[in-house]
A = this chain, B = another copy of it.
């Protein structure tokens, strides 16, 4: 007895269920979102155009709400970081997006399933498909979860160097020195994830004030900045 072959549609549906935690109604739509132009005429290029606009709005609203002091220019720069091909492609690894793609023979031979632009475009196309099928609010909810590592990295980087300001560690140090207090202690309390995509949790403590805060980041340095930012928010709100 041999198993029936797995179709592209079944593979796409399985990936959507597992990674988006969403039950696709129109499997063909998601199959198309996961199909590179090298594989078929019904490929993901048009869905990518749509999904790019959906992602841009999701991130714009996140930034609008989370950065009340940022002006238009700063908001644009922050968004460019989050939705860059580089940033989106980094999300593709944990989502096992590469193996879910339909690629032409040439692209398969040259490792297309690991190419940054192919991964980023497919992720946008998936966002477009989800929007078409389930509407904006569902696409927003699912992609805010998928984008969380990218948004968190951006938040940490922004804490490090807000527009025209000193970074958070420097500001905390100056605040403490101005009060004759010793420097804070930074300690890595947890490192999560595989080696290519680790997340660092850092504690920043000022024993003299019996204060501490934690920060998370995709590098130790960023986690420290995030922790300093949190502590500053406590000490000098």
Which residues from B are CB-within-8-Å of A132?
A: 64
Interface residues of A in 44-82 (CB under 8 A from B): 45-46, 48-50, 52-54, 56-57, 60-61, 63-64, 70-72, 75-76
Q: Does A194 contact B (CB under 8 A)?
A: no
Which residues from B are CB-within-8-Å of A54?
A: 57
Which residues from B are CB-within-8-Å of A60?
A: 49-50, 52-53
- Give CA–CA (A49, B60) in the complex, Å: 7
Which residues from B are CB-within-8-Å of A52?
A: 60
Q: How distant is A125 from chain B, measured CB to nearest CB, in Å?
A: 10
Q: Does A22 contact B (CB under 8 A)?
A: no
Number of interface residues of A (CB under 8 A): 25
Let me know if A61 and B57 touch, CB within 8 A.
no
Q: Does A192 contact B (CB under 8 A)?
A: no
Picked from B48, B57, B136, the residue with its CB within 8 Å of the CB of A72 is: B48
Which residues from B are CB-within-8-Å of A45?
A: 71-72
Residues of A with Cβ closer than 8 Å to B? Answer: 45-46, 48-50, 52-54, 56-57, 60-61, 63-64, 70-72, 75-76, 128, 131-132, 135-137
Q: What are 28 A-to-B residue pairs whose CB atoms are below 8 Å?
A: A45-B71, A45-B72, A46-B64, A46-B70, A46-B71, A46-B72, A46-B75, A49-B60, A49-B63, A49-B64, A49-B72, A49-B75, A49-B76, A50-B60, A50-B61, A50-B64, A52-B60, A53-B53, A53-B56, A53-B60, A56-B56, A57-B136, A61-B131, A64-B128, A64-B132, A135-B137, A136-B136, A136-B137
12 extra A-B contacts, CB within 8 A, seeds A49-B76, A64-B128, A136-B137: A45-B71, A45-B72, A46-B71, A49-B72, A50-B60, A50-B64, A52-B60, A53-B53, A53-B60, A56-B57, A64-B132, A135-B137
